[in-house]
Structure 1
Amino acid sequence: MRPHLLVLFLFLSASSAEQRRVKSDEEKCHDEHPTLLHYFSWADYTVLAIMLLVSCLIGTFYGFFSKKQETSQDFLLGGSSMGTFPTAMSLAASFITAIELLGNPAEMYEQGTQFWMTCLSFILVVPITSRLYLPVFMKLRLTSSYEYLHLRFNRNCRLLASGLYMLQMVLYTSVAVYAPALALSRVTGLNTYIAVTLVYVVCIFYASQGGMKAVIMTDTFQAAVLLGSLFLILGYGLSWAGGIALVWEENVKSERIEFLNMNPSPTVRHSFWSVVIGGTFYWATMFCSNQASVQKYLSVERISQVRIALWVSSFGMIIIYSINFLTGMVLYRAYKDCDPLTAGYISDQDQILPLYVMNFMGGLHGVPGFFVAGIFAASLGTVASALNSLAAITCEDILRGLFQMELSAKKGANYARWISIFFGVLSFALVFVVERLGSVLQVALSFNGMVGGVTLGLFSLGMFVPWANAKGAMVGAITSLIVVLWIGLGAQVAAVNGQIHLDSKPISIANCPCINETTIILNQTEHSSDNEVWSIYKTSYLWYSAIGCVLTMLVGLTVSFITGAQNPADVDQDFLSPPIAAMFRIQTKPQASANVQGIANLGLELEDEKPRQIDICKSPKCP
């Protein structure tokens, strides 16, 4: 063999031996310090199975053994006979998604406490809903909230809003189930497909068989499971971390305790203004104009019950968010010297809470199962409410409104059952689309706020601006939708391309075993400069709803005056928010109800009034 070839051979052999030695060392280190210390036990599977079984049994009871739900009103609205407390718990359960239960602690761990100030939004949005929007919905008693847009403007506005809602909810429910299931599977060992399938099978069953009654009562049970699991994890976490005083001290040192970032720039992701003001607009889309919420309002008999339910659900959400952020502080205490994401132990920040539960509490058989049951409960609540609301708008807005189908009460209930099953299967199928298009996850989450703001703007235009006409409403909604989608989708594209990144609070990997320093350096420098992206794309996602709502109203009012403003005297007072009706003292039209004066008096006595019954096909606003 030639001398230079011999040297090359010896060099390659030495390199190969060195690689084998390094690989052996890495394997040895991994064996000594595994990422996961525990896996799901039979007790954990049992706890999870019990939660799913009870959910099914509630649906079975209301579907087969309780009073028969023979009419569409019984199936979709629960016959307006539900109690105040179950309705409140159901509202809170439908507002809190599994994505938030995993994402909020991770947000606190990575970005600090500023986002907790959204709890102020929960307090602000309740009187806004109770006094400005709720009286109109309770007076008209419309199964689909978008029927209001038909009565106030025209059928096109109604179809636009209902179509956007259908697209929004089908896409969002797929993401709301898949994203947390994926996060759990990569840490707990649960199979993603099995987890997703279980959620959909259970949810489709009780939502389609038991209707609104089953949805609300199951939500109440699931809310109890959710709260119990959160308190359990937080209690153990604080105990092992040395108490809340030590946890708070560690987070103060890392500059994570922050509540009053008063930077007025809309590009600041979480400031006091974006979280409280922008957050109030976002939660107003959920409380004031969301079909699932309106249906639950109508499931009780009196407006006073709804107002109590709103306050109870609001304080329930404040408790949940507070637990989430205290849990995030515990996570920082546990991982302050070894960030799992930077170290490569997990692939996404949402996996940090499941990782913590499995490693610190996995030895307590049943505790991880209870935690996962709480996450599943949130997914079930989100999907069940969505399926029931989608069935309602399909029956009312599509079959009756668009195709002018005459559905008897009994036939309407049967249609609603099959439609809820259809949308459940469709949402389940979309999970496999979302799985292959990772960028869809963030788009779907942002799309929720974008569409919600436009819809809130339409309802606000109708209830607060008596001069607004149908042309103004349509042009305002379409213009606003285009602008908000341009900003939101542009921001997502820029983020995917590395042009936008978040500056997280200080983290460390000083005490991480088995760390490849080269990999860490690459991870820390992989972000591209964000100087090339337009400033508008840096707008905080919390402002999307506000932009959509305000722009819809401004453009709608402008176009209405250009095309011939509506005469306020021609607008039925029942279609206006009580303070607006009182302010303008509009003359009552002949077809207005005899109880209009109650509306004019700020709707304070609406709980004693009978709901107005409207035959939409005979309304003068129908084409």
Structure 2
Amino acid sequence: MTSFGILNWLIVAVYIIGTLFLGVVLSQRVKSDQDYYVGDKSTPWWAIGMSVAATYIGALSLLGAPAWSYETGMSVLLIHVNYPIAVVIVVTLFLPFFYNLGVASIFDYLEKRFGLTTRTLISSIFLFGNIAYSGIMLYTTALVISFVTGLDVTLAILLVAVIATAYTWMGGMSAVIWTDVAQSVILLLGLCIIFFALINVLPGGLIGALSELKASGMTYAFNTSTDPSVVSTIWTGIVAMSIYHVVVYGVNQMMVQRTLAAKTMADAKKSYIFMGYAAFVIFFFLFLLGVLLHNYYQGKVFEDSNKIILEFAIVAQIPGLMGLITAAVIAAAMSSLDSSLNSMATVTTIDFYKKFFKKNETGTHYLKASRIFTLIWAVLIIIPAILFVGSAGSVLEILSKIGSFFVGAKLSAFFLGFYSKHTNEKGLLIGIAMGFLSLFVADQYYDIAWPWYCLIGGAVSIVVAWIASVSIEGFKAHNHQYTVKGQAEFFRKMDYPEMQDGWYLIPGRIDRASYYLLAYFVVCLIFLFLFDWLI
């Protein structure tokens, strides 16, 4: 532990103290449960956008992405090239429904569209899926802290959990967003230092390294294999993972909740579009680090590939670098953990406690309840973190595979809610059950890559739900108010404006900025082709 050095410990200590201080300051703004859930609606869109990006591109990506490309090459970037497509779908369909409802839980929509049972089921899926997500993230962070400082992994898990819980408990969503902004800066600073340090020690320099990597096929991204067992192909990236990321960003309470803190619908959309531009750049940078490290280590096999960046940071021997990397990883982890804790507390309070136990209490009462649930969830997510200790493989890939089992159910519920005139709650529940059954069969009896699980589960759920609904109640004559067409009819009937400040308020209309983002997606594909071709 002493080898970590005083300077490194000082850097980590300053970061932790600063984070807790920010939580104390922002706690002064929290007067009611709504302040805890979505703040005071004064947060700028760029801060929300940075927070959204930091939440998904956290410690798991910082360690897992380079570990993944170290073994596979740049083809894994196809899994993450689809963000512009996903974001356009989310800002066009999902955000208008959720923002217009004016509630903190996105699952309120499901009750209005289908019924309380659907809301409760999908809320439960979110909560239990988030336990696994947060547990793996906690483990990843503890792995870093243990590796670089000598602390016991379990002790490191407890340390990170306590710190993140403390400032989230105090400051609510405002603390989540603004600490995420600070944590993003620290994370990017650490990555840049590692990148330039790596370039300086590559045996043949950057150009020589890329030439060698091209010769071995590591820089070519466009794997066109039609083998369904292959994870990273152009088909999984553009088709399967686009759907996956629509669910991750469109019906994930942890992501959407912070956009509900925006001043206007326009700000909510701009925050997501910001992330749509930033995600490709950040993931390209992370995966490029992985293939360059592959060249530096000449393909050496590591017992735990998630430690590759840490191994190199030790070799670099830059004063204070290990402290900065440790702070960066803690920051990345907390940017995900704080969001997870706040959203889980929000859903537990609104979708369960308020709905079934205490229906007519004051905002102060629900604020206290939310803070208690924050503490309870903090304790519960420590369990899977400890169970995960000792596992190997890319944690980013493991997390993605776990998440793929749940996204089909969420996809079908919201897709049918938006577009199906005839789907009812009984039919939807039957469809979701059959979707889970289809994934169990696919996982047990067929060799299919996990990116396709979302499409398989979602497609089965949608088809079965529609058939079951029509069989039970027949065809309906009118659109439900909370379908896309129903919203258009409602806006016309109430004479509401469809646009404000140049952005659509109504779901189903594509904003001009979204077309620019789709053009950016094409530019990204061209860039990936040229990157390999011009080496």
Taking the aligned partners of 1:232 and 1:77, their CA distance within structure 2 comes to: 35
User: How far apart in 1 are the matches of 2:55 and 2:442?
Assistant: 27
SS at match of 2:39: helix
Give the alignment partner of residue 353 of structure 1, picking from 309, 315, 333: 309
Cα distance per residue 1:114-141 (max 9 Å; x no partner): 1112343111111111112111111112
2:402 corresponds in structure 1 to 447
Q: Which amino acid in 2 is paired with 1:455?
A: K
Per mean C-alpha deviation after superposition, the further-off stretch among 438-447 and 217-226 is 438-447
Cα separation, 1, equivalents of 2:307 and 2:369 = 40
Structure 1 residues 178 and 119: alpha-carbon distance in aligned structure 2, compared to 1, 3 A threshold: closer
Tell me how far 1:569 sits from its aligned partner: 1.8
On the 8 A contact 1:472/1:558 being kept in 2, the answer is: yes
Distance in 1, Cα, partners of 2:38 & 2:208:
49
Alpha-carbon separation, structure 2, partners of 1:227 and 1:566: 53
Structure 2: gaps (5+ residues): 508-535
Matched, 1:604 2:504: yes
**Could you tell me how far apart the structure 2 residues matched to 1:294 and 1:312 are?**
14
In the alignment, the residues of structure 2 paired with residue 115 and residue 354 of structure 1 have an alpha-carbon distance, to the nearest angstrom, of 21
Please give the per-residue CA displacement for 1:562-594, whole angstroms capped at 9, x wherever unaligned. 11246252511xx123xx448xx75x59xx982
Aligned to 2:210: 248
| Cα displacement (A) at 1:183 | 5.3
Q: Is the 8 A contact 1:188 1:358 kept in 2?
A: no
Q: 2:469 aligns with which of 529, 535, 560?
A: 560
How big is each residue's C-alpha offset from its partner over 1:351-402, in whole Å with a ceiling of 9 and x where there is no partner?
222111112x2x2121121112211111101110011111111111101223
Question: After the TM superposition, which residues 36-185 of structure 1 pair with which residues of structure 2 at under 5 Å, given as runs?
Answer: 39-63=3-27, 66-67=28-29, 69-182=30-143, 185=146
After superposing the two structures, state which structure 1 stretch, 439-448 or 254-263, moved more.
439-448
Counterpart residue number, 2:453: 544
The answer to whether 1:484 aligns with 2:445 is no
Determine the structure 1 residue equivalent to 2:514.
none
In the other structure, the counterpart of 1:266 is: 228
Query: Could you say what secondary structure the match of 1:569 adopts?
Result: coil
> 1:466 aligns to what?
421
Q: Distance in 2 between matches of 1:268 and 1:452?
A: 20
**In 2, distance between residues paired with 1:351 and 1:147?**
41
Shift of 1:79: 2.4
Q: Evaluate the alpha carbon distance shift between residue 322 and residue 137 of structure 1 in structure 2; reply closer, same or farther with a 3 A threshold.
A: same
TM-score normalized by the length of structure 2: 0.88
Native 8 Å contact 1:469 1:566 kept in 2: no
Partner of 1:202: 163
CA distance 1:433–1:440, shift in 2 (3 Å)? farther
Structure 1 residue 456: deviation in Å?
A: 2.1
CA contact under 8 A between 1:468 and 1:565: conserved in structure 2? no
1:282 corresponds to 2:236: no
Larger Rg: 1
1:568–1:235 Cα change, 3 Å: farther
Q: Give the whole-Å Cα distance in 2 for the aligned partners of 1:368 and 1:72.
A: 39
| From 591, 594, 599, the counterpart of 2:494 | 594
Cα distance in 1 for partners of 2:242, 2:312 equals 32
- Give the whole-Å Cα distance in 1 for the aligned partners of 2:74 and 2:169: 40
- Cα distance in 2, alignment partners of residues 252 and 439 from structure 1: 24
Moved more, 325-334 or 557-566: 557-566
**Which amino acid in structure 1 is aligned with residue 264 of structure 2?**
R
Q: Which amino acid aligns with 2:159?
A: L
Distance, in Å, in 1 between the alignment partners of 2:497 and 2:428 is: 27
| Cα displacement (A) at 1:147 | 1.2
Q: Structure 1 224/440 Cα, relative in aligned 2: closer, same or farther at 3 Å?
A: closer
Say how many residue pairs are matched: 502
User: Does the 8 Å contact 2:306/2:394 carry over to 1?
Assistant: no
Partner of 1:35: none
Q: Which deviates more from structure 2 when the two are superposed, residues 395-404 or residues 263-272?
A: 395-404
Following TM superposition, by how much is the alpha carbon of 1:161 offset from its aligned partner in structure 2, in angstroms?
Answer: 0.5
Does 2:330 align with 1:423?
no
One-letter identity of the residue aligned with 1:185: S
- Structure 1 counterpart of 2:152, which letter? N
1:269-302 deviations in Å (ceiling 9; x for gaps): 2111112222111211111100112211100121
Deviations 1:195-239 (A, max 9, x none): 212211110001011000000000110011111111111111112
Aligned residue for 1:390?
Answer: 344
Per-residue deviation at 1:148?
Answer: 0.9
5+ residue gaps in structure 1? 1-37, 342-346, 491-533, 608-623
The answer (yes or no) to whether the contact 2:349–2:369 under 8 Å persists in 1 is yes
Say what the alpha-carbon RMSD is for the aligned residues.
2.6
Alignment-derived partner of residue 191 in structure 2:
230
Q: How far apart are residue 440 of structure 1 and its match?
A: 13
Is the contact made by 1:247 and 1:329 (CA closer than 8 Å) also made in structure 2?
Answer: no
Percent identity (aligned): 23
1:512-534 CA distance string (max 9 Å, x none) = xxxxxxxxxxxxxxxxxxxxxx4
1:571 paired with 2:480, answer yes
Match of 2:322 in 1: 368
Query: What is the TM-score when the length of structure 1 is the normalising length?
Result: 0.76
In 1, are the aligned partners of 2:404 and 2:453 still within 8 Å (CA)?
yes
Counterpart residue identity of residue 355, structure 1: E
Q: Following the alignment from structure 1 to structure 2, what is the Cα–Cα distance between the partners of residues 210 and 168?
A: 24
Deviation of the 1:95 alpha carbon: 1.0
1:584-620: CA deviation from partner (whole Å, max 9, x where unpaired) = x75x59xx98256739xx982459xxxxxxxxxxxxx
